[in-house]
Structure 1
Amino acid sequence: MIKHVLNIGILAHVDAGKTSLTERLLFETGVIDRLGSVDGGDTQTDTGEIERRRGITIRAAVASFALGDLRVNLVDTPGHADFVAEVERALGVLDGAVLVLSAVEGVQPHTRVLMRTLRKLRLPTLIFVNKIDRAGAREHDLLADIRRRLSPSCVPLNTVDGLGSPAAVTRPVTDPYAVAEVLAERDDELLGLLVDGQTPEQGMVRAALARQCGEAVACPVLFGSAITGQGLPELLDGIAELFPAVPRVAVEGASATGTVFAVERAPSGEKVAFVRVRGGVLRVREPLTFFRGQRRSGGDGPRAGGGAGSGGAGRTADHAYEARLTALSVAGAPREAQAVAGDIVKIWGVPEIRVGDHLGEPGPANQAHFTPPSLETVVRPRIPGQEPRLHAALLAMTEQDPLIGTRALPGGGTSVLLYGEVQKEVIGETLAREFGVEAEFEPSRPVYFERPSGSGEAVEEIQRQGRNEFMATVGLRVEPAPAGSGVGYRLEVDLGSLPLAFHRAIEESVRLALREGPHGWPVTDVLVTLTRTGYSSPVTTAGDFRGRVPVVLARALKRAGTVVYEPCHRFEAEVPLEAFGPVTAQLAALGGEVRDARREGEGWVLEGKIPAAVVHEAERRLPGLSHGEGVWWSEAAGDRPLR
């Protein structure tokens, strides 16, 4: 009988072997009787046609296996940086993570991005060094790299004989002293034993390791091979013993709470959602409330999705809706009639559901840990007349990935936000295969945004004589707001001065109009105040206010003035000594600023800031400038005025 449940993620730089590792874990635990392969396109978690053909994971997938009375839900996430949004959503529902490295390639750039995020989230992490059977595999110098670049508190639990050959085998580290040395820094009892020259018992060391791993301060490391199965027994033991599992207990009477982290469509077209249950009991046909949005202290930021939200301090969810499930399937136990805390469950019967929605209560504030997309492209159908069909298909895709922000453009095109060119290719293939629309993409361009540089006001009144285009009076003032606050809106008129429907029309029109400022980019970090209103009953309609607001707001923004900003990344580049000059020159040519340069070992470590739009180009050029020895890492880090 299952008493505990554990949700873990498999994360890695692309091609480190995480999907192969997932297959091996399912094989070793008896879930499948034959190993699939990425090359053969028959793996359990890469189920989409595009995933199988390209050999990469695009959508998060869930597989389950049992270890005694523990059910492990394994979430296989994308490794390619263009699908980082999928990784972010998976991290929010995990109890632990297995970070996969290649014993040959070692610590790669995206590995470092993932590890920094895992540490920021304080998510318990175990490192699995894969491919020990490959020529060029490393152990001791790779451990040094892991300590230097990923975690200084890494604890190797096994070692390898015959490294770099098909005959490579693992054996456990049996000396408890070696493990205790790392753990003693945060364990006074262990430290006392070591100072006294005593060797602690193996059980005591293992308990300390489990505790520090659960607190995300120690990082166990295991070597192995997903192809040969070496190291897999130790990995399974580590998953069962070192990660904090959730007791699977049904708390009757408690409202079900959870997070929607993935949405797919059944062959019939019906939406199927993946939910991590956090509390209560979830059953079919019981009334449920879902919330879209999250608790937050500020307003909207630059566009990162299809719709406008609501600003204002202390706001909770933007939207709530009621639903009753028509069916559910608990991961690892599809015949169970209910889901409880810790379970991952597929649900049917909620047509409005989207990724990021929360069941039972609004989501926590400040959930995002990855930068929003920094590229934008315009998509048009190859066959004229299919513009509505294309736009509808892209809107359907945003249900699975809300960060693919879409908006219709004059002339039939649709704007789409992107992380990179591979994502663009996958969107094109998905449109053709799943929606029957052949699409053409314009070259990608950076996503900029505008902030007001001063204050400005404008008023348009109903004309008492002459022709009135809009039977509405609107006065608006715009002024700068604190960075990161998004869009704020407030009234300087009495709420009763207009019917509520007219107030709603004004606020909605303000938010819609701010999607395109004087320079053509979304306006953010702005406070808009309604200073004047008027209408003529019964002639005036909400449409008069919707027509008047964009004109008044544009005039107020012009008087205030706006500055265009570009999102930036903080970067760190490790380069050999002779590459210092060429690399710094190239970074400067791309608009980067090197703010610190220091000698480390046989090379330089460069730190600085660079426009997000050229990060991929800098990363692409680094190997050629550094003779293949350069290492690049970057993360979102604010913005700066566009030069």
Structure 2
Amino acid sequence: MSSTPAPSASIATAAFTDAVGRRRTFAIISHPDAGKTTLTEKFLLYAGAVGEAGAVKSRRVARAARSDWMKLEQERGISVSSTVLHFAYGDWRFNLLDTPGHADFSEDTYRTLCAADAAVMVLDIAKGLEPQTLKLFQVCRDRGLPIVTFVNKCDRPGLPPLGLLDEITEQIGLQPVPITWPVADGSDFAGIVDRRTDELVRYDRTAHGARKGQEVVEPWATADPQGCPPDRWDAAKEELELLDMEERVLDQDAFLGGTQTPVFFGSALQNFGVRLLLEGFAELAPPPSASPVDEPADAGARPVAAPFAGQVFKVQANMNPRHRDRMAFLRVNSGTFERGMSATLARTGRTYQLKYAHQLFAADRNTVDLAVAGDIVGLVNAADLVPGDTLYTDDAVTFPPIPTFAPEKFVSVRTTDTKRYKQFRKGLVQLDEEGVIHVLRRPEFGDQEPILAGVGQLQFEVAEHRFEHEFGCPVRMQPLQWEVARRIDASAVDALRGQFKTMVVEDSQGNHMALFASSVALDKAERDHPDIAFEPLGTGLARRVAA
């Protein structure tokens, strides 16, 4: 594994500015099966972080994806948990937040996007914009994240590329600006033209698996088809001429402002066009910038050069079964993080000693002595830290809360082995601390048969798998009728007992919720109790702002 060596002492001002300027902290968003995990692996291949790419082709694939660390991910060939991959390429230092594409894990993905400065949106050339991509794009827009688009699978038959550009404009309102352009597709695919240099990068089916791509580059104006049907070759020429006539030129301010998206074409599986995307993204994407704050109210934003401050955006237990530890993922928003430093936890005001810190590469980890704004640090066995927590030194600050989603599905859960009740309770606590699944309790049952609440069914399947394989206790889950959850005040609990198709529960922090079997039941409760506030769950997303 390749990692970025950390300086042994605090960074001087000029060196700090340079180090932050070379950071690119980003996420990859896509619909399932568009090629996100494969693209991630090829990025790592170029960076020298892995020796071979473990492309996920089916559930039975023998070689699991390097970025998928959870056993269930490797068995199913899907990503169901966010991971952090730190790697270097040239002078650039990347923090890649690899997110699950499955819709059932939207909350995990959305929280991770809070730690990103930009995103790569992956589209399947045969399918274009798909529902989950649109949903994730909207979160990126709410966060103000610049988006670079990668049209994948050009070596397979696909939609007309000009039609894809129109689809991007019509469905998400961005002006697409092609940086590279495909010459045909499918079995006729001849390569891509780099519009910046007017060069053809020819697609060589015998060399696509090579580590550096072994790309053959030649002037587009004098290139010949070499097997590409003349009509398709001529069509690509006409398309490029049309783009030139339309003066589709990238404006950096428009890109950073979220009105333009640079578009790259290629094939992640065939390792083609990935180098141009990686280098283009590094040049275009913004470095870390000032972060909005909740407190002090008049502060506006915290500059990256301010004293250390960071925010926990994810907590994950048992990433490595050998350690059986608890990892808090912290984005450094400002200043310099130094291992062993003392910081203040904004939520409690108490001092927190940051002794055990790692830089992450999926399930692997290296001790990190120093990190700067934009870096992601894993705090090991960070008891009491929860998603959204702010840590700081010197000037007090609190960053906006991490978004939570209203659960849409509910199950009761109990252990099938009463001798493993201690492990069952431990599993409940760890799932609750991670925050993606909500653990709710009915006062009359307590921990005997708690309720798990989540966004989608796959969350429960993963939780069931983890109970058995991580926490050592088999469980049985039973679907429940509840469909809607609302936060209520403790004073409303007695009034709602016995309410039509309603159940009152509480979480581990003592917050009370009312669960309703339908929106009709919620409407009735609101009519019957006009004095009770039924507060929707969920919080907004805060934008990162220019320094």
Q: Answer whether TM exceeds 0.5 for this pair.
A: yes
Contact 1:284 1:326 (8 Å CA) reproduced: yes
Cα deviation, 1:276-316, whole Å, max 9, x if unaligned, reads 0011222233222224xxxxxxxxxxxxxxxxxxxxxxxxx
The structure-2 alpha-carbon separation of the partners of 1:47 and 1:127, relative to structure 1 and needing over 3 Å to count, comes to same
The gaps in structure 1 that reach 5 residues or longer are 177-198, 292-316, 451-485, 489-508, 525-556, 570-635, 637-643
Instruction: Give 2:93's aligned residue.
Output: 71
Cα distance in 1 for residues equivalent to 2:495 and 2:101: 35
Shift in Å at residue 517 of structure 1? 7.3
**Distance change (3 Å), C-alpha of 1:264 and 1:366:** closer
**Structure 2 Cα separation of the partners of residues 562 and 517 of structure 1:** 17
State the SS of the aligned residue for 2:479: coil
- The CA deviation at 1:138 is 4.1
Change (3 A) 1:84 1:56: same
Native 8 Å contact 1:90 1:261 kept in 2: yes
Between the two structures, name the one with larger relative contact order (CA 8 Å, sep ≥ 6). Answer: 2
| 1:254 corresponds to | 307
Q: Distance in 2 between matches of 1:271 and 1:20?
A: 28
Cα distance, 1:225 vs. partner?
0.6
How far apart in 2 are the matches of 1:383 and 1:75?
37
Structure-1 residue corresponding to 2:148:
126
Cα deviation 1:195-229 (Å, max 9, x = unaligned): xxxx99x9xx97x6222212222111111110112
Matches within 5 A, 1:18-57: 18-39=36-57, 40=61, 41-57=63-79
Residues 165-184 of structure 1 aligned to structure 2 (within 5 Å)? 165=187, 167-174=189-196
**Structure 2: which amino acid aligns with 1:430?**
R
- Cα distance in 2 for partners of 1:259, 1:234 equals 33
The aligned residue for residue 397 of structure 1 is 431
Distance (Å, rounded) in 2 between the aligned partners of 1:513 and 1:436: 37
Match of 2:384 in 1: 352
Larger Rg belongs to = 1
Deviations 1:557-611 (A, max 9, x none): 9995789989899xxxxxxxxxxxxxxxxxxxxxxxxxxxxxxxxxxxxxxxxxx
After TM superposition, where is structure 1 displaced by more than 6 Å over at least 4 residues in a row?
250-253, 511-517, 561-569
Identity %: 27
Secondary structure at 2:157's aligned position in 1? coil
* 1:96 has 2:125 as partner: no
Partner Cα separation in structure 2 for residue 30 and residue 564 of structure 1: 55
The residue that corresponds to 2:336 in the other structure is 281
Query: What is the correspondence of 1:221-240 to structure 2 with a 5 Å cutoff?
Result: 221-240=263-282
Are residues 165 and 516 of structure 1, via their aligned partners in 2, closer, same or farther at CA, if it must alter by over 3 Å?
Answer: farther
Contact 2:390 2:397 in 1 (8 A): yes
Contact 1:170-1:230 within 8 A present in 2 as well: no
- Indicate whether 1:381 and 2:415 are aligned: yes
Q: How far apart, CA to CA, are the structure 2 residues paired with 1:271 and 1:568?
A: 26
Amino acid at match of 1:429: H
State the 1:143 CA deviation.
2.0
- Check whether the contact 1:62–1:73 (CA below 8 A) recurs between aligned residues: yes
Letter aligned with residue 269 of structure 1: R
CA gap of 1:281–1:153, structure 2 versus 1, over 3 A, is same
Amino acid at match of 2:120: V
1:338 — aligned with what?
A: 370
CA contact (8 A) 1:258 1:279 kept: no
Gaps of 5+ in 2: 1-14, 199-243, 291-302, 507-525, 541-547
How does the TM-score come out when normalised to structure 2?
Answer: 0.70
Q: Distance in 2 between matches of 1:514 and 1:223?
A: 59
* Letter of the structure 2 residue corresponding to residue 120 of structure 1: D
2:332 is paired with a residue whose SS is strand
Counterpart position of 1:242: 284
- Alignment RMSD (CA, Å): 3.7
- Hey, what's the Cα distance between the residues in 2 that align with 1:403 and 1:432? 17
Residue 543 of structure 1 corresponds to: none
Match of 1:185 in 2: none
1:16 alignment partner in structure 2: 34
Contact 1:285/1:325, CA 8 A, preserved across alignment: yes
Which residue does 1:272 correspond to in 2? 327
Q: How far off is 1:89 after superposition?
A: 1.2
1:323 corresponds to 2:365: no
Which of 109, 121, 139 is the aligned partner of 1:87?
A: 109
1:406 is aligned to 2:448:
no
SS state at 1:47 partner: coil
* Per-residue deviation, 1:47: 0.9
Tell whether the 8 Å contact from 2:86 to 2:359 is kept in structure 1 after alignment: no
Q: How many residues align?
A: 430
